[in-house]
Amino acid sequence: MMIELSDVYKTLDGRKILQGLNLSIREGETYVIIGRSGTGKSVTLKNIIGLMQPDRGEVKIMGQCISQMSKTESYEIRQKMGVLFQSGALINWLNVEDNVALPLTEHKRHLPKSEVVEIVRQKLELVELSHAGKRMPSELSGGMKKRAGLARAIVGGPKIILYDEPTSGLDPVMSNQINDLIISMQKKLGVTSICVTHDMSSAYRIANRIGMIFEGKIIEEGTPQEIKNTQNPIVKQFISGSTVGPLTQ
Amino acid sequence: MIAKLGKQIIDIFENLGFICRLFWATLKCYKSVIFRSRMILDQFFICGIQSLPVTIVVGVFTGMILALQSGLILKDYRLENYIGVVILLTMCKEAGPFMTAFILAGRVGSAMAAELGTMKVSEEIDALEVMCIDPVEYLVLPRMIALAICAPILIVYVNLLGVLGGAVVAKYQIGLEPVIYFKRILTYMSTYNLTIVFAGLLKGIVFGFIITSVSCAYGLRARNGAEGVGEAARQSVVYIFLMVLISNYFMSALIERIFGS
């Protein structure tokens, strides 16, 4: 297993967010986590990245337990991960090229500048953003910010990419472009992907498997087809977007 | 009510603890100073150079107010020739460092808290951590070094402007010729031990550390979107004012005890 969460509990500000969450993700697959807002999707992601430590339970990345690691050890694991944040999370005083180059200029200081420029150019080309390298984050649209964030996430050659609501706030065309990029990342780079979203059309399109979080646990898991045909009333209500059902009781 | 008061006291100590830990964590990044020199220069420009216009006004008017108030009293005792010395000592020992710290708290400290707070709520700090970039080394260290260098420089600048402003008031309101005003200052400076005057510059370094530690601590702990960022900026300025005020007293007492007599 590439990523494994076993019996993970997390409480924030007295609220029980994760309550015995179990999750296993195989190498090379795209796993989409769905669920209502505030059910712990982003908290799960942060536990996987190591930005949060679980109160109880284990988070294993490539067989190594990240929840019991020192900061330096977790840094080594994190260098094998790339994260696309909801807003792109670009550093606002650096232009797109410098943002994408940041992991290289910080950690691979021995690399000649020409090589860094070439790597950045390749990654920007991959996300179809070659023309915007000199632009500042404030001059980019929402979709461009996400693509720049994705270029930065893949610049270090990660084995795992995590996407936090990659299509939120985007128009349908841009959402599909991002979905295509996620699929192409999996195909071209062979990465394992975890995507947190509540955009069901996006989930069906990119996922190999979908898992739904409810009350801090995965309550249903399966292929997009299995999720579409589920008999679980909670999942059914969520994917149909109905206002009547167990989720709104 | 008791529970609320207790929570507030705990919050104060928790914040103080975080500020101290952040300061210590920043000091431990000293090896990266050379690597971060470009960012330090950028911050030096933002904190120091861009603060010059407001310091001109504050420095000149502080000196003018001091000259007016002390001049009128000294004139009653026919000691108006010493206005320059009074202003020099007051500016260098207390008013210069204090006013500079207040300018920096309001102009730079609040901006730092807001900037880092915005980065926190827009997940830029998380992004740095994911990229294995230490936010303390990347964000706090350059700001702290820049402010610790530019605060004493700004203090010297404010002191000089204060003395010049004092000379203007001494001439036009007290009737003291600038030649006598500056001659007294030079005579004093060549006769007495001026260590105590320059010790005021040490305060600048400490204030620089306080302003950066407090504002960055509040910025890095900002939550709840724009409201949280505003709250971080507001609270950081209040905290900086209090800490500057309290630490200034203890530093003044210590300096007087060591160099005073």
**A140 and A220 inside one domain:** no
Please report the pLDDT score of residue B75 as a whole number: 86
**A47 and A169 inside one domain:** yes
H/E stretch holding B209 reads helix B195-220
Q: Is residue A22 part of a domain?
A: no
Q: State the pTM of this model.
A: 0.87
Q: Is residue A104 part of a domain?
A: yes
B74, B177 contact by CB (below 8 A): no
Please report the pLDDT score of residue B193 as a whole number: 67
**A147 and A174 inside one domain:** no
**A76 and A171 inside one domain:** yes
Range of the structural domain that residue A47 is part of? 27-51+70-80+158-249
Q: Is residue A20 part of a domain?
A: no
Looking at chain B, which residue has its C-alpha nearest residue A162?
A: B130
Q: Do the chains contact at A91 and B126, CB–CB below 8 Å?
A: no
**A243 and A179 inside one domain:** yes
**A166 and A209 inside one domain:** yes
Per-residue pLDDT of chain B (261 residues; tens, 9 = 90+): 888 888 888 988 888 999 999 999 999 998 888 999 999 999 999 988 999 999 999 999 999 999 999 998 988 888 888 999 999 989 988 899 999 999 999 999 999 999 999 999 999 999 999 898 999 999 999 999 999 999 999 999 999 999 999 999 999 988 889 999 999 998 888 877 677 677 788 899 999 999 999 999 999 999 888 899 999 999 999 999 999 999 999 998 988 888 765
d(CA B236, CA B218): 6
**A141 and A162 inside one domain:** no
Q: Is residue A12 part of a domain?
A: no
Please report the pLDDT score of residue A69 as a whole number: 81
Q: Is residue A37 part of a domain?
A: yes
**A168 and A180 inside one domain:** yes
Query: In total, how many domains does chain A have?
Result: 2
Q: Do the chains contact at B132 and A106, CB–CB below 8 Å?
A: yes
How far from the centroid of its chain's Cα atoms is residue B109's Cα? 9
Predicted confidence (pLDDT) at residue A165 exceeds the cutoff of 80? yes
User: Which residues have CB under 8 Å from B25's CB, separation 6+?
Assistant: B136, B140
* DSSP for residue A84: E
CATH number at residue A248: 3.40.50.300
**A239 and A187 inside one domain:** yes
* Å between A108 CA and nearest CA of chain B: 12
* Å between B119 CA and nearest CA of chain A: 8
Please report the pLDDT score of residue B8 as a whole number: 86
Predicted confidence (pLDDT) at residue A182 exceeds the cutoff of 60? yes
Per cent of chain A over pLDDT 90 is 41
ipTM: 0.87
pLDDT, tens digit (0-9, with 9 covering 90-100), for A9-18:
999 888 899 9
Q: Is residue A64 part of a domain?
A: no
pLDDT, tens digit (0-9, with 9 covering 90-100), for A48-97:
988 888 999 999 998 888 877 877 778 888 888 999 998 889 999 999 99
**A175 and A133 inside one domain:** no
**A173 and A228 inside one domain:** yes
Q: Is residue A118 part of a domain?
A: yes
Please report the pLDDT score of residue A70 as a whole number: 78
pLDDT, tens digit (0-9, with 9 covering 90-100), for A113-132:
999 999 999 999 988 888 88
Q: Do the chains contact at A90 and B123, CB–CB below 8 Å?
A: no
Q: Is residue A196 part of a domain?
A: yes
d(CA A2, CA A26): 5
**Tokens 């977007």 appear where?**
A241
d(CA A59, CA A77): 12
Please report the pLDDT score of residue B260 as a whole number: 67
pLDDT, tens digit (0-9, with 9 covering 90-100), for A229-242:
888 899 888 888 88
Q: Do the chains contact at A78 and B132, CB–CB below 8 Å?
A: yes
State the average pLDDT over residues A40-46: 89
